[in-house]
């Protein structure tokens, strides 16, 4: 039970940070401005459904893709950590994920992807699939998508309670955690690739 909880926390938190449900609330309000309550709910439901399909596709076929391309777990862990680190640092200057994502890819459905499941989320899913059991990642992804759905459905109330400054502050705190997670991923990848061990041996010989 303790191992399950430990793995769940380590899969849930990175996804929670990159999905950034609270940080996306102002964007949802902006995109749905002028819509009726029913129209906004329909947009949110379609967005969550799209995010679910995209997320599951990369989660189930990501590991297979890595094997086909001959990419080792260590190499991908290092690459994934570097990508998350770059996204995180750019987020600190750009202010939100949407500003970054617009430059990097064309949104098929703006809310589902890339707003919820964008490059950072896809990278995180692929990375987690090489380290943890699939069912734990599925549980973490499902809970994050449910939390996003709840946040978007109650976007008006959340925005009124926290205010724009509060929402931004929460996102910035989570982003700092993501930076730390990205660095730990890079270190873990170096260990899996035996780079740290090799460098240590070289330094001892020298």
Query: What would you measure as the largest C-alpha separation in the chain, in angstroms?
Result: 70
Q: Per-residue pLDDT tens for 40-91?
A: 888 888 889 889 998 999 899 877 887 888 877 677 778 777 877 777 777 6
Cis peptide before 190 (omega within 30 of 0): no
**Closest listed residue to residue 124, CA positions, set 205, 11, 7, 3:** 11
Q: Per-residue pLDDT tens for 126-173?
A: 888 888 999 999 999 999 999 999 998 998 887 778 776 777 777 677
Query: Above 70 in pLDDT, residue 95?
Result: no
Map out the domains of the chain as residue ranges. 2-205
pLDDT band at 203 (very low <50, low <70, confident <90, very high): low
Sign of the Cα pseudo-torsion (106, 108, 113, 119, in order): negative
Instruction: Work out the mean pLDDT of the chain and round it to a whole number.
Output: 78
């Amino acid at each position: 039970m303790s191992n399950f909880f430990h793995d769940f926390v380590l899969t849930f938190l990175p996804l929670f940070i990159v999905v950034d449900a609270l940080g996306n609330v102002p964007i949802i309000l902006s995109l749905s401005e002028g819509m009726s309550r029913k129209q906004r709910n329909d947009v949110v439901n379609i967005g969550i459904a799209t995010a679910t399909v995209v997320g599951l596709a990369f989660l189930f076929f990501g590991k297979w893709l890595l094997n086909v391309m001959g990419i080792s777990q260590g190499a991908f862990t290092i690459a994934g950590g570097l990508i998350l680190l770059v996204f995180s640092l750019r987020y600190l200057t750009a202010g939100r994920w949407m500003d970054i994502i617009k430059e990097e890819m064309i949104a098929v459905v703006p809310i589902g992807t890339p707003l919820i499941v964008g490059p950072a989320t896809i990278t995180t899913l692929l990375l987690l699939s090489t380290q943890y059991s699939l069912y734990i990642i599925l549980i973490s992804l499902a809970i994050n998508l449910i939390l996003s759905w709840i946040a978007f459905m109650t976007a008006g109330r959340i925005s009124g309670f926290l205010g724009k400054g509060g929402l931004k502050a929460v996102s910035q705190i989570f982003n700092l955690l993501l930076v730390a997670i990205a660095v730990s991923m890079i270190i873990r990848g170096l260990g899996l690739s035996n780079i740290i061990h090799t460098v240590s041996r070289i330094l001892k010989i020298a």
